Chains A and B, each alone.
Chain A
Amino acid sequence: MSVLVYINSQNGLHKAALEAVTYGKKLGEVTVITNGQADASLLASLGAYGASKVLVDRSVQSDDDQQLSNVISAAVTATGATTIVFSHDLIAKAVAPRLSVKLKAGLVSGAIALPAADGTVKVNVFSGKAFGVVKVNSASRIISLLPNSIQPEEVGGTATVEDFNGQAGEAKVTLKNTIKPEGDIPLPEAELVVSAGRGLKGPENWGMVEDLAKALGAATACSRPVADIGWRPHHEHVGQTGVAIRPNLYIAAGISGAIQHLAGVNGSKVIVVINTDAEAPFFKAADYGIVGDAFEVLPKLTEAVKKFKASH
């Protein structure tokens, strides 16, 4: 089966892109389609994850959804792919639905696993409180894979890189400016996240959250009240109305665990909760809990992590 995987390579190859290639490889012969100015040698390295060929449309610099859906659609025609894979990121959320209509291919958004033997795909629904099993009735299908659902696998191999003209057409959305976020690790892709809430009492106390995050190599996040009162930027807010994340490890300090917060983090593999209130609802969703003051626990945990890192 011919599989086409779209990846965003504008800012290097993210882990989410490698996951999408690995996912595609498990379904068939993978061609990657991407856009922008990434080095051919970088794109060729996708061969290690199972891509046979990488097509790159150098003419498309932005993430305009109409241009990208035109390019991906042309790549579908060129490769005869019947399965198209995206990482379920902000680009996929705009482009995959448009492509679905253009190709009359059923779209499975937020897949968390490979298709079952009967072709059905499991997805996150009810904001992570349940899974849905989706059957695609059309001849072609589009699967948008939630980040951190499978791990990238190196299979060895090399990919050829070819320039591709996908007849993108004109961008109708004009990019005027980009405001880069602080922090190095994009929150939705982070494997380790340290998060804190009102229990920290003020923005001046975030140093100890950042210290722990730095010791672990984690991204930082926060609860909704903290973003709403301006202690932390909105892009750090995880929860139902903020960002939904599913890291391997989520450490929450001074967050009670309201249902709206849990909706954004309940896909985390392991949850550590630090709270002074032993009755905080978050402990019910946690794997490890510490009843204690974040002001005492966080520095001690940071020291323990540093000691561990020094000896491993």
Chain B
Amino acid sequence: MKILVCISKAPDTTSKIAFTDGNTKFDENGVQYIVNPYDEWYALVRALEIKETSGGQVTIITVGSAADEAIIRKALAIGADEAVRIDADPKDAYYTATQIAEYAKTNGFDLILTGKETINYNGSQVAGMIAASLDFPLVSLASKLEVNGSTLTLEKEATNGLQIVEVSLPAVVSCAKGMAEQRIPNMRGIMAARTKPLTVIPAVAVEEMTSYVGYEMPAAKSACKMLTADQMDELVSLLHNEAKVI
């Protein structure tokens, strides 16, 4: 089975979030980029598990600049076989998804995996857009994935609980918690990653359907009002009269 895993860079969870250029750009100063955790822990590791049990090949793909090769090598060190970088600034989800779909169209993947969202833009858009461009079915926010020949059985979050669904390959799946456990790359993986193939391909022309024109920080929280365990009537009254939430 040929599996394509889409990875994105994301600022490390503990990064300070700030903006520059009149609040129009993310301030990358001092920011450590990591592989977006949902892409790495769930999509990539599950792809490797499938390969280990049923054979196949795992390709990772990202849309980004040469500076993103550190996260590509990390994903290769965890165990992906090869990497593709589409050399472009990932302007929005549609731009990114279209680039990936164009590559996938000519390279015949059975299964395309993404994380459920990135931790910086939280849009949950790319998987659905890739599925639409390729006319593949999508299973979103899957927490379990089993392969039986050319059929997938998945567990996914739904508005009315957990659903067990089946879908035929080829398909796109966005991966959420439960899918797999994080893997730490070992020294052999890190050494091997240096020589694994990384193909850089040019971007195709895609219109920019949405643009981020600015950013804002939330208003600072006023100081926390401290109460004691014996002031619960007062707390309830504050929640009712001051905060107006009950």
Residue ranges of A at the interface with B (Cβ–Cβ < 8 Å)? 8, 10-11, 63, 65-66, 69, 89-91, 93-102, 104-110, 120, 122, 124-127, 129-138, 172-181, 186, 191-192, 216, 234-235, 237, 240-242, 244, 248-249, 259-260, 263, 266, 269-270, 272-273, 283-293, 296-297, 300-301, 303-305, 307-308, 312
Contacts and interface: CB of A to CB of B under 8 A. Distances in A.
Interface residues of B, number: 80
B180 to A, nearest CB: 12
B244 to A, nearest CB: 9
Q: Which of A91, A260, A283, A290 is packed against the most chain B CB atoms within 10 Å?
A: A290
B53 interface: no
11 contacts: A66-B137, A90-B159, A98-B131, A106-B210, A107-B94, A107-B209, A130-B216, A132-B212, A173-B137, A173-B167, A307-B236
A11 B92 CA distance: 34
Contacts of A287: 221-222, 224-225, 243
Given A94-B128, A173-B138, 13 more contacts: A10-B159, A100-B132, A130-B218, A131-B216, A131-B217, A172-B137, A176-B166, A259-B14, A288-B224, A288-B225, A288-B235, A288-B239, A305-B236
Interface stretch (B70-78, B102-110, B114-122, B190-198): B114-122
Q: Is the interface of B mostly helix, strand, loop or mixed?
A: mixed
Contacts of B52: none
Contacts, number: 270
B213 A134 contact: yes
B123 interface: yes
Contacts of A308: 233, 236-237, 240, 246
Nearest to B168: A172
Given A90-B140, A273-B224, A289-B224, A130 B209 contact: no
A192 B161 CA distance: 20
Nearest to A306: B236
Contacts of A240: 13, 37, 119
A130 B19 contact: yes
Interface in B158-191: 158-168, 177-178
Given A131-B218, A259-B13, A104 B239 contact: no
